[in-house]
């Protein structure tokens, strides 16, 4: 089956081709078992996050203390055991899903939104625009994330949104670099010139033709950033910049259990596993999406 | 290079040692003679940043200065009395203004220079201008009017105004004597040259400090040649280093890992009652909190023991008064004075006071701020306990500089802090008199300020103690601060270690430490 | 440098029997090659002609057993220089490829490794099959470059510094580096413009005659076949529909599809003549029609053609055609016979 | 090539000036200053606080202090640390060797794990092995550094005598920290290796290599990998540059005298000259590494070398 041009009869009406493309992507996605597992886990997590308030009463079961039940090893009543203030870790891990998922996802979206836009501009308009954006990017990436966290949280107050902002901004440089590299490789392709020849405005070219073609490295970067965003919350919460205290965010749970690593390691093992599963789910889905979107790999 | 030399030395020693044993093979086997290592390694956790005594006053720094330098007068913590240091004897004028010291003449600095009265004068002049950036040291030295060198072994210090406690302060290691020639020769390393039992060898900030024995020390020669202090900030790693035998002493192991130490029979755990008091401070400039009844209600509603168990894994002791139990003039017989002790928790009394306060049935929200991950746990427990009074607590954590800038600007409501208390009664004034950054309760009571001034110059012990008693009674009633607990400090060390002096303040004395092979 | 066996005209260089290749995808299976027999005499050149999608490249790759995943190759027998390729282990295959059977690919722009110098790529092949010292291999590589008309000094340059034509010469040099007995050329000049095409073909002919190599020339350009080949095989939808010497197929064309090919060629001499392209399109390889694959587009198609699969019929001792129409002995196609 | 390198070095100067201004601005924005750090250590009366402000010349606007600082910077004097009084440059260089050793060792660990994993999963694309390789590479990223570090210390350092638990003492001491940091990097590097290998494995010239008679192993490991190196080196170089900035958590756990902890301690104690000085040195060293990685491209890919030879990147 030679790679030469398709025989005429396949070039049927344009609508049909576009509709089937999405169907093809979904079909490929369904075919990829890993992606399906990832999607299932994520939907489960989203469900748990939304209905956490229904499942548990925040004050008594999540934030309530009973020192008498301190540091109980995992057993029947407390599947994951209890932490140093007597709170049930199993319920906190489930309840914490909303924070970690929220922080991880939102922070990455913030980073992506800013990063992709600047990256695309830098990649497309070479010369001065690129140099300025890339140098500003180098400057921004020099700021350590903890310093960024201190400033944003103290300037705007400690809240979950500010935490997302702090982590989001520190992930902007990576997105800018990844997008620029992808856009650079795509803009030199012939079809971009062909589009220019049709008189299409540059903004439309970038938005509808260049960025979709750069989606695969961006998707990979999104899934990776979600992982490091969730883990970044634990180092930030060490300095008290994380989610305000009683909230059971996985990163801060890891951090609180830090001094119990030898005596009660289950304090950090279960939040760690929760993070591992979430990160894996996002990456399996991201991987599946990347392969489904990449026409070259569709053979 | 230095490590190589000391290695060779050790080898030589070891070899000679074996020969000695070998040679005396014939004779009856000597009494089980214990051999000691040449190096003792100590793992510590609080960062030190200078080897110059006038620049630092923190406990860990003073531990080092105690080894490398000497002061004119020493303070003996057991007997809490003064004993001769570089000065053999001293006399004071009646108005406690002019202090005359007779100095030892057999003391030499590490660089070989002889110790003379001129060095005392130089240290004062050096620290006064840019030799130190430490406010406490500079303020103490500013209290001195003049220092007169009478002859090589006599010096006279004249204060601006009389201070009975001057020697207690002047015995602090931060006022150790420096050598004029050494400092003028090298401003960076010069201040590190002292007269103490050990000499500064290597100093890498936040990594390690190595001290070599001063062979020509005027006092009792230490048994161990080299002391190596390794900065290991993570407690779990520090304990693991001790278990692996890399270090001989592990200062401040995790409270959560005390049973691991107890389970290991090569290690000894020494937990001493701490001198660091953890307390709540209510900013009286906040109208809602400027109400003693509310503060007392909260004081009685808090259960200290639960905080100790929850936040410090049970390592610590309940505190009942905003005054060091080891500080001069401590008074705690509250019943005798018609008052009730804050502990144990007494909900009815708390509700009683709450009823008399501006918030009879609670319903207010208080923002409690802390500056470290450890105290967050305590605040969460207080948060749960105050629910009984229908008071909601919002927990806020800031990093240390942000925290102090907030308290300095009086923008806080309630803060949880821990402070290292000392034996001197006068030192407690900084919490209760205006114009001090430690006075986070912005407490200003003329009577209390007056009483502190009187106690400062009162010669008669009974009268001074009575003044301090009156202060404590007023404070107990107004409760600007609520004392919570003394955090216990712990030390874990291998059973081969002996000769070290452990104490509550954390300023351990390693001058006579030795480690069996 | 040539192997010592003397060239025997009637010796068989390559024999392929009943090659079938299917690409099994989830929703469909593409039957690329449906039973092909090739016998290539030593020193002869066989032209494999056919439109795009007739399975020419797949056939070539099957000879080297390089058909990519998910292709399934079934074949009764494949012998090159008497060696049975089907039974070769991967180690033997590696020795076989490049020394006994070599291949030149279609698109020179992408057939050379961009990060290795031209000389290095040739030397690698030499080192693979007759290991010598690096310098010696490089010297041989430079000699090969000279052979294909590239100055030896350019051996240290990289592929991106060469034009399309020059790159194809390098590919040829690589293929001939170890003096293979049989060479497969998969549309070697399609990607080149006409003037370069003639030079490359002349070069290939010169090298073939010098070394007495047998060659399979795969192309859709009948002009090239006339110029280079001794025998011709016309392929359509994965089958050889007509096979014979140049004279048989060009002058005594039998198969209607071959006739259609000739009709769609512009005639230099008679410029006013209208082209008669073959109506319709290549059949979809995933569902080939029953019977003769060409039937839907064949002018002479009868009911029989649409039902039964045409058998290979020997019209002369060298000329074969697969067309059921010839069951009727006096069936003729319009194209006149010349001798 | 040289012209391109010099251009990049010159471009670094505005970046460093930008970095110094941004960090100075952010440190000023952060609540509290060096005086507050000192107050946190021990009590101070208001007059004493004012006296210290004079000594640290903290009065005056942020801009005036910045230009005073820049005056020193231009003469190459990064100023002295507020806390230790030692010159910033000296403190940074004191911590640099340990940081470089840890960064190099971590990248070595990351490369040793990621590249084989990436190639193997590229060859076995879509199969069960592909997914397991990816899951394996993700373990590193998902396990928090401090937890892995402590576990390594407890399980390995306590039982193996020649591996020290902490500190920078000879080669053996770098093993555990390098594993802790290295495994964290495998996720990104393994994925990049996989995707760039996938792109290369589709290329035609590999078919030519196979037709020459190369074994599949040689085709993948020699001919394909070399072409896939560019993205891999980009990511590995980026990771090395990031490690040069130090990894705070690992340095804290292993008591590793690295730059990361120096910067974070200085941030916490608002030691502005040290923070700005260290970050400038960090960005300078990162800039150097990224430049070396770019120059490395030319060594690997002749097409890029051609672009440099013509003095500028050829862009349509």
Q: Domains plus CATH for chain D?
A: 2-74 (no CATH), 96-257 (1.10.3720.10)
Pick the closest to residue A252 from A271, A270, A266 (CA basis). Answer: A271
pLDDT higher than threshold 80 for residue C5: no
A17: pLDDT strictly greater than 70: no
Residues B452 and B503 in one domain: no
- Residue B317 maps to a domain: yes
Q: Is D300 on the interface with C (CB under 8 A)?
A: yes
> Is residue B328 one of the residues assigned to a domain?
yes
Cα separation, C183 vs C174, in Å, equals 11
Q: Which of C52, C220, C235 to mutate to test the interface with A (most CBs of A within 10 A)?
A: C52
Question: Is B182 contained in some domain?
Answer: yes
Reported as a pLDDT band with limits 50, 70 and 90, residue A19 is low
Task: Give the contacts of B422 (CB within 8 A, at least 6 positions apart).
Answer: B275, B324, B327
pLDDT tens sequence across B67-81: 999 999 998 877 778
pLDDT at B140 over 90: no
Instruction: Check C281 against A8: CB less than 8 A apart.
Output: yes
Q: Within a domain: residue B511? A: yes
B129 and B260 assigned to the same domain? no
Minimal CA separation from A274 to chain D, in Å:
9
Helix (H, G, I), strand (E, B) or coil at B462: helix
| pLDDT at residue B21 greater than cutoff 60 | no
Q: What mean pLDDT, rounded, does chain C reach?
A: 84
Neighbouring C-beta atoms of residue A191, cutoff 10 Å: 10
CB B500 within 8 A of CB B514: no
Check residue A6 and give its pLDDT.
42
Question: In this predicted structure, what is the pLDDT of residue B107?
Answer: 92
For C285, the token pair is 């390889």
Would you say D78 and D72 are in contact if contact means Cβ atoms under 8 Å apart?
yes
The pLDDT tens digits of the residues spanning C33-62 come to: 888 888 888 888 999 988 877 788 888 888
Of C66, C16, C117, which Cα lies nearest the Cα of D214? C66
The ranges of chain D with pLDDT < 70 are: 308-316
Mean local confidence (pLDDT), C82-96? 86
* Partner chains of B (3+ C-beta pairs under 8 Å): A, D
Residues B461 and B335 in one domain: yes
| Interchain pair A7, C53: CB under 8 A | yes
Q: How far apart are CA D210 and CA C64, in angstroms?
A: 9
Domain's final residue, options B189, B214, B239: B189
Domain boundary (B189, B218, B246) is at B189
In angstroms, what separates the C-alpha of B344 from chain D's closest C-alpha? 31
Which among C91, C97, C110 has CB closest to D212? C97
Q: Tell me if B327 is assigned to some domain.
A: yes
| Alpha-carbon span A23 to A45, nearest angstrom | 26
Q: Note whether B384 and B471 are same-domain residues.
A: yes
Report chain C residues touching chain D, CB-CB < 8 A.
Answer: 64, 66, 90-91, 94-99, 102-103, 105, 107, 110-116, 124-125, 128-129, 158, 160-161, 171, 174-175, 178
Strands B39-44 and B249-251: parallel
B429 with B315, same domain: the answer is yes
The answer to whether residue B282 sits within a structural domain is yes
Higher pLDDT, D263 or A155: D263
Residues with Cβ within 8 Å of C36's Cβ and at least 6 positions away in sequence, in order, are C16, C18, C19, C55, C59, C235, C238, C239, C240
Give A263-278 pLDDT, tens digit per residue: 888 898 898 888 888 8
CATH classification at residue B262: 3.40.190.10
Inter-chain CB proximity A1 and C32 less than 8 Å: yes
Choose between B300 and D309: higher pLDDT.
B300
Show which subunits contact D, needing at least 3 CB pairs below 8 angstroms: A, B, C
> How many inter-chain contacts (B to D, CB under 8 Å) are there?
154
pLDDT at B12: 52
Q: Is B142 in the D-facing interface, judged by CB distances under 8 Å?
A: no
Identify whether residues B239 and B152 lie together within a single domain.
no
Q: In chain B, how many domains are there?
A: 3
Give the pLDDT confidence score for residue A210 in this predicted structure: 82
Whether the per-residue pLDDT at B32 is higher than 80: the answer is no
Residue B8 located in a structural domain: no
Closest-CA residue of chain D to A136: D15
Nearest-by-CA chain B residue for D165: B241
Condensed to tens digits (0 to 9), the pLDDT of residues B80-107 reads: 788 898 999 999 888 888 999 999 999 9
Average pLDDT over residues B403-418: 90
* Boundaries of domain holding B138: 70-189
The pLDDT tens digits for A220-253 are: 788 888 878 887 887 777 767 777 777 888 888 8
Yes or no, beta carbons of B437 and D43 under 8 Å apart: yes
* Segment holding B261, helix H or strand E: helix B258-263
* Same-domain status, B140 and B183: yes
Final residue in a domain of this structure, among B137, B171, B189: B189
Backbone angles phi, psi at C213, to 5 degrees: -80, 150
**Is residue B3 assigned to a domain?**
no
pLDDT band with cut points at 50, 70 and 90 for residue C6: very low
Selecting from B306, B380, B398 the residue whose C-beta is nearest the C-beta of A246 gives B380
Are B256 and B372 within one domain?
no
Q: What is the distance in angstroms between the Cα of A14 and the nearest Cα belonging to chain D? A: 28
Is this prediction's ipTM beyond 0.85? Answer: no
Q: Which residues pair with B250 in a beta bridge?
A: B43, B492
pLDDT of residue B42 exceeding 60? yes
Give the span between the Cα atoms of C41 and B276, in whole angstroms.
Answer: 101
Q: Select from D191, C170, B125 the least CA-distant residue to A284.
A: D191
Interface test with A, best of B373, B401, B404, B411 (most A CBs within 10 A): B373
B-C interface (Cβ pairs under 8 Å ≥ 3) = no
Tell me which residues of chain C have a C-beta less than 8 Å from any C-beta of chain A. Answer: 23, 26, 30, 32, 52-53, 56-58, 281-282, 285
- Rounded to a whole number of angstroms, the distance from the CA of C103 to the nearest CA of chain D is 7
In whole angstroms, how far apart are CA C104 and each of C60, C218, D169?
Answer: 10, 10, 59
CATH code for position B355: 3.10.105.10
B44 with B87, same domain: the answer is: no
Q: Is A190 on the interface with C (CB under 8 A)?
A: no
Q: How buried is B4 (Cβ within 10 angstroms: 0-12 exposed, 13-18 middle, 19+ buried)?
A: exposed
Q: Assess whether B397 and B377 both reside in one domain.
A: yes
Mean pLDDT, chain B, as a whole number? 86
What are the chain D neighbours of B233 within 8 Å (beta carbons)? 252, 255, 261
Q: What is the pLDDT of residues A5-16, one digit of tens each?
A: 444 444 444 445
The predicted model scores a pTM of: 0.85
CB of D126 within 8 Å of a chain C CB? The answer is no
How would you classify the pairing of strands B365-370 and B226-231?
unpaired
* pLDDT confidence of residue C277: 78
Chain D residues whose beta carbon lies within 8 Å of the beta carbon of residue B234: 150, 166, 252-253, 255
Instruction: Compute the half-sphere exposure of residue B149: CA atoms within 13 Å on the CB side of its CA.
Output: 13
Interface of A with B in 204-233 (CB under 8 A): none
Cβ pair B401:D31 closer than 8 A: yes
Q: What is the pLDDT of residue D314?
A: 44
Higher pLDDT, B423 or D311: B423
pLDDT score at D308:
65
Span A89-145, pLDDT tens digits = 888 898 888 888 888 889 999 999 999 999 988 888 878 888 889 889 888 988 888
pLDDT band at C329; cut points 50, 70, 90: confident
Among C26, C53, C281, beta carbon nearest to A1:
C53
DSSP letter string over chain D? -HHHHHHHHHHHHHHHHHHHHHHHHHHHHSS--HHHHHHHHS--BHHHHHHHHHHTT--S-HHHHHHHHHHHHHTT---B-TTT-SBHHHHHHHHHHHHHHHHHHHHHHHHHHHHHHHHHHHHTTTSHHHHHHHHHHHHHHHS-HHHHHHHHIIIIITT-TTS-SSS--STHHHHHHHHHHHHHHHHHHHHHHHHHHHHHHT-THHHHHHHHT--HHHIIIIIIHHHHHHHHHHHHHHHHHHHHT--HHHHHHTT---HHHHHHHHHHTT-HHHHHHHHHHHHHHHHHHHHHHHHHHHHH-HHHHHHHHTTS----
């Amino acid at each position: 089956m030679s790679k030469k041009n398709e025989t005429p009869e396949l070039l049927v009406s344009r609508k049909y081709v576009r509709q089937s493309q999405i169907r093809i992507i979904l079909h490929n996605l369904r075919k990829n078992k890993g992606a399906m597992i990832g999607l299932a886990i994520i939907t489960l997590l989203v469900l748990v996050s939304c209905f956490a308030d229904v499942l548990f009463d925040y004050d008594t079961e999540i934030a309530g203390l009973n020192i008498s039940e301190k540091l109980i090893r995992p057993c029947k009543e407390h599947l994951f055991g209890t932490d140093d203030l007597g709170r049930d870790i199993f319920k906190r891990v489930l309840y914490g899903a909303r924070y970690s998922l929220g922080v991880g996802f939102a922070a990455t979206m913030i980073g992506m939104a800013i990063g992709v836009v600047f990256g695309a501009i830098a990649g497309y308009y070479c010369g001065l625009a690129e140099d300025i954006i890339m140098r500003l990017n180098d400057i921004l990436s020099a700021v350590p994330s903890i310093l960024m966290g201190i400033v944003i949280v103290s300037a705007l107050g400690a809240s979950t949104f500010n935490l997302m902002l702090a982590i989001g901004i520190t992930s902007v440089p990576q997105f800018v670099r990844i997008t620029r590299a992808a856009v650079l490789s795509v803009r030199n392709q012939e079809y971009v010139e062909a589009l220019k020849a049709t008189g299409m405005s540059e903004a439309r070219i970038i938005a509808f033709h260049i960025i979709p073609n750069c989606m695969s490295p961006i998707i990979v970067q999104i899934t990776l950033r979600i992982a490091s965003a969730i883990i970044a919350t634990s180092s930030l919460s060490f300095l008290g910049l994380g989610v305000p205290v009683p909230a059971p965010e996985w990163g801060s749970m890891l951090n609180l259990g830090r001094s119990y690593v030898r005596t009660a390691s289950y304090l950090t093992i279960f939040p760690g596993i929760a993070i591992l599963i979430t990160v894996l789910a996002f990456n399996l889905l991201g991987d599946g999406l990347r392969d489904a979107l990449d026409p070259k790999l569709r053979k | 290079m230095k490590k190589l030399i000391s290695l060779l030395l050790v080898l030589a020693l070891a070899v000679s040692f074996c020969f000695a044993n070998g040679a005396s093979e014939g004779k009856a086997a000597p009494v089980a003679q214990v051999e000691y290592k040449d190096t003792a390694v100590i793992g510590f956790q609080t960062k030190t940043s200078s080897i110059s005594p006038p620049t630092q006053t923190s406990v860990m720094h003073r531990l080092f200065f105690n080894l490398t330098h000497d002061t004119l007068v020493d303070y003996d913590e057991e007997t809490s009395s003064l004993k001769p240091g570089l000065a053999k004897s001293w006399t004071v004028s009646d108005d406690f203004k002019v202090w005359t010291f007779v100095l030892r003449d057999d003391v030499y600095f590490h660089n070989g220079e002889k110790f003379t009265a001129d060095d005392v004068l130089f240290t004062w002049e050096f620290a006064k201008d840019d030799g130190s950036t430490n406010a406490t040291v500079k303020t103490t030295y500013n209290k001195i009017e003049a220092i007169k060198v009478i002859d090589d072994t006599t010096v006279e210090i004249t204060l601006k105004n009389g201070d009975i406690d001057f020697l207690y302060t002047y015995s602090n290691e931060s006022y150790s004597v420096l050598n004029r020639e050494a400092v003028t020769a090298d401003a960076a390393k010069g201040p590190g040259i002292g007269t103490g039992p050990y000499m500064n060898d290597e100093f890498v900030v936040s990594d390690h400090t190595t001290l070599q024995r001063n062979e020509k020390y005027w006092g009792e020669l230490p048994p161990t040649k080299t002391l190596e202090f390794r900065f290991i900030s993570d407690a779990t790693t520090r304990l693991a280093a001790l278990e692996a035998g890399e270090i001989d002493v592990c200062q401040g192991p995790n409270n959560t890992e005390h049973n691991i130490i107890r389970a290991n029979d090569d290690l000894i755990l020494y937990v001493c009652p701490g001198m660091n008091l953890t307390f709540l401070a209510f900013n009286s400039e906040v109208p809602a909190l400027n109400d003693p009844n509310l503060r007392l209600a909260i004081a009685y509603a808090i259960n200290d023991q639960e905080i100790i168990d929850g936040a410090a894994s049970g390592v610590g002791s309940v505190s009942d008064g905003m005054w060091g139990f080891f500080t001069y003039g401590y008074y705690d017989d509250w019943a005798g004075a018609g008052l009730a002790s804050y502990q144990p928790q007494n909900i009815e009394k708390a509700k009683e006071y709450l009823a008399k306060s501006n918030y009879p049935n609670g319903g207010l929200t208080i923002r409690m701020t802390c500056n470290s991950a450890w105290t967050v746990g305590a605040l969460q427990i207080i948060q749960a306990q105050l629910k009984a009074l229908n008071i909601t607590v919002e927990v806020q954590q800031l990093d240390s500089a942000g925290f102090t800038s907030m308290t300095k600007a009086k923008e806080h409501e309630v803060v949880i802090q821990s402070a290292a208390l000392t034996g001197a009664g006068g030192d407690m004034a900084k919490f209760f008199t205006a114009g001090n950054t430690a006075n986070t309760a912005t407490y200003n009571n003329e009577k209390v300020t007056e009483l502190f001034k009187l106690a400062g110059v009162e010669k008669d012990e009974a009268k001074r103690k009575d003044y301090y008693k009156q202060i404590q009674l007023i404070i107990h009633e107004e409760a600007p601060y609520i004392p919570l607990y003394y955090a216990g400090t712990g030390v874990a060390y291998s059973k081969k270690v002996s000769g070290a002096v452990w104490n509550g303040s954390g300023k351990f004395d390693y001058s006579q430490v030795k480690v069996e092979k | 440098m040539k192997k010592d066996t003397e060239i025997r005209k009637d010796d068989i260089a390559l024999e392929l029997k009943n090659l079938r290749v299917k690409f099994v995808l989830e929703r469909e299976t593409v039957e690329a090659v449906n039973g092909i027999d090739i016998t290539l005499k030593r020193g002869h050149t066989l032209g494999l002609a056919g439109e795009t999608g007739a399975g020419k490249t797949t056939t070539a790759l099957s000879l080297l057993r390089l058909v990519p995943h998910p292709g399934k190759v079934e074949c009764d027998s494949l012998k090159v220089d008497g060696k049975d390729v089907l039974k070769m282990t991967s180690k033997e295959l590696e020795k076989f490829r490049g020394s006994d059977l070599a291949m030149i690919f279609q698109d020179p722009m992408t057939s050379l490794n961009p990060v290795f110098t031209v000389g290095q790529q040739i030397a690698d092949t030499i080192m693979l099959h007759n290991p010598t010292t690096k310098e010696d291999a490089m010297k041989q590589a430079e000699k090969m470059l000279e052979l294909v008309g590239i100055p030896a000094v350019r051996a240290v340059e990289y592929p991106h510094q060469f034009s399309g034509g020059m790159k194809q010469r390098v590919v040829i040099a690589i293929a001939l580096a170890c003096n293979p007995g049989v060479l497969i050329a998969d549309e070697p000049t399609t990607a080149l413009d006409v003037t370069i095409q003639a030079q490359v073909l002349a070069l290939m002919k010169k090298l073939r005659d010098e070394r007495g190599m047998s060659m399979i020339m795969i192309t859709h350009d009948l002009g090239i076949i006339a110029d280079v080949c001794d025998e011709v095989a016309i392929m359509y939808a994965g089958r050889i529909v007509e096979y014979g010497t140049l004279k048989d197929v060009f002058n005594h064309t039998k198969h209607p599809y071959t006739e259609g090919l000739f009709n769609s060629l512009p005639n230099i001499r008679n410029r006013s003549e209208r082209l008669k392209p073959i109506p319709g399109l290549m059949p979809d390889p995933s569902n080939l029609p029953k019977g003769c694959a060409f039937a839907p587009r064949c002018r002479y198609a009868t009911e029989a053609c649409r039902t039964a699969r045409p058998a290979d019929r020997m019209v002369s001792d060298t000329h074969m055609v697969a067309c059921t129409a010839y069951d009727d002995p006096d069936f003729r196609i319009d194209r006149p016979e010349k001798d | 090539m040289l012209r391109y390198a010099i251009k990049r070095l010159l471009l670094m100067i505005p970046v460093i000036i930008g970095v110094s201004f941004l960090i100075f601005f952010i440190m000023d924005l952060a609540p509290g200053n060096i005086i507050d750090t000192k107050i946190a250590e021990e009590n101070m009366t208001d007059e004493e606080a004012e006296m210290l402000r004079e000594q640290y010349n903290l009065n005056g606007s942020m801009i005036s202090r910045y230009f005073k600082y820049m005056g020193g910077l231009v003469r190459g004097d990064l100023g002295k640390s507020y806390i230790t009084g030692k010159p910033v440059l000296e403190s940074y260089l004191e911590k640099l060797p340990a940081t470089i050793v840890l960064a190099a060792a971590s990248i070595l660990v990351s490369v040793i794990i990621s590249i084989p994993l990436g190639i193997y999963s590229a060859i076995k694309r879509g199969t069960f092995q592909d997914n397991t390789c990816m899951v394996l590479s993700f373990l590193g990223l998902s396990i928090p550094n401090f937890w892995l570090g402590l576990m390594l210390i407890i399980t390995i350092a306590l039982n193996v005598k020649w591996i020290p638990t902490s500190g920078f003492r000879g080669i053996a001491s770098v093993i555990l920290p390098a594993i802790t940091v290295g495994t964290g990097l495998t996720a990104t590097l393994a994925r990049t290796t996989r995707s760039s290998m996938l792109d290369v494995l589709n290329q035609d010239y590999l078919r030519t290599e196979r037709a020459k008679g190369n074994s599949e192993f040689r085709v993948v490991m020699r001919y394909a990998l070399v072409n896939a190196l560019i993205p891999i080196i980009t990511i590995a170089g980026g990771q090395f540059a990031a490690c040069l900035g130090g990894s705070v958590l690992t340095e804290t756990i292993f008591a590793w005298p690295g730059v990361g902890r120096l910067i974070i301690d200085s941030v916490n104690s608002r030691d502005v000259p040290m923070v700005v000085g260290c970050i400038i040195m960090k960005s300078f060293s990162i800039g150097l590494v990224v430049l070396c990685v770019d120059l490395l491209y030319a060594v690997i890919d002749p097409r890029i070398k051609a672009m440099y030879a013509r003095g500028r990147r050829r862009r349509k």
